[in-house]
Amino acid sequence: MRPTIVAIAATLLAIGGPLAAQQPDSTKNPRDVQPERPTVATHAGTVARGYWEVETGLERDQLGGNRSVVAPTVVKFGVAPRAQFSVFGSASQPVGTGTGLGDSGLDVKWRLLDDAPVLGDFAVQPMIKFPTGTVQSGTGTGTTDFTLLLISSHDFGPVEMDLNFGYTRRTGNGSNAPLNSTLWTASFGGQAIGKLGWVAELYGYPATSGPSGQSSIVAVLTGPTYLAKNWLAFDTGIIVPVTGPQPHAIYAGSVINLGRLW
């Protein structure tokens, strides 16, 4: 089973990843999907103003003989030409327990720059996570988390790159989750054949301190994506640990743009 802090971080800190490498240009069609899940890296793009999207997926983790399942869901609303508001949460089944609701939260992604010389498309994404899950069942950390994610996206011909760095500060005494933690990611991807795409991602959680601290984690992710319609996309793939207590995992998910909300 993925340690609680890593499960929460991977699911809720920066829900994002594979399909970001295949994101269409939202200035061309407001119904083009802007996938941000189900793994770690996210992109600087935002849902068109007045439109909304729903993303959901399923991830199965295995660390040693322990297995767990988590199902994250994100609902995103385009609130300005360069900003979107999101509500996120999850259901999970930690090892040895029944299925329960996990922690949930809110975030705002604000794109500050487009095609800048060094930063490319650059966005900031502050977020807050609430302790709606429970520590006893393993579905939550029992803390309120304040996170700031920095996002830099670039196009290199047919390949897209998304770089992320995140910092999280938590309430509590550090017994259930570290008071401070960080995250970095580098994701690459693009089109393969027709509507099929690909992604390759490297990410890490530097070591944390305190009663619940753990050693650093580095892992790789890869898998195909499928853009069924400009407003509907699917993904699947695997996660393999390089170092640290990161479980092996498989995932699958979808994102749909539901059109104009207002």
Banded pLDDT at 178 (limits 50, 70, 90)? very high
Residues 219, 203 contacting (CB under 8 angstroms): yes
Q: Within its chain, how far is the Cα of 233 from the centroid?
A: 16
Banded pLDDT at 63 (limits 50, 70, 90)? confident
Q: Over 50: is that where the pLDDT of 156 sits?
A: yes
Residues 88, 73 contacting (CB under 8 angstroms): yes
Residues 184, 203 contacting (CB under 8 angstroms): yes
Q: Within its chain, how far is the Cα of 122 from the centroid?
A: 17
Q: Is the pTM of this model over 0.75?
A: yes
Q: Write out pLDDT tens, residues 10-54.
A: 433 333 344 443 444 445 799 999 888 555 789 999 999 999 999
Residues 214, 230 contacting (CB under 8 angstroms): no
| Residue among 234, 235, 227, 230 nearest 30 (CA) | 230
Neighbours of 85 (CB within 10 A): 17
| Residue 99 identity | T
Beta bridge partners of 76: 53, 86
Q: Write out pLDDT tens, residues 197-250.
A: 999 999 999 999 999 999 999 999 999 999 999 999 999 999 999 999 999 999
Strands (E), the chain: 51-63, 66-80, 83-93, 100-101, 104-116, 120-130, 145-156, 159-170, 180-193, 196-205, 217-229, 232-243, 248-260
Q: Over 90: is that where the pLDDT of 9 sits?
A: no
- Domains of the chain as residue ranges with CATH: 4-260 (2.40.160.40)
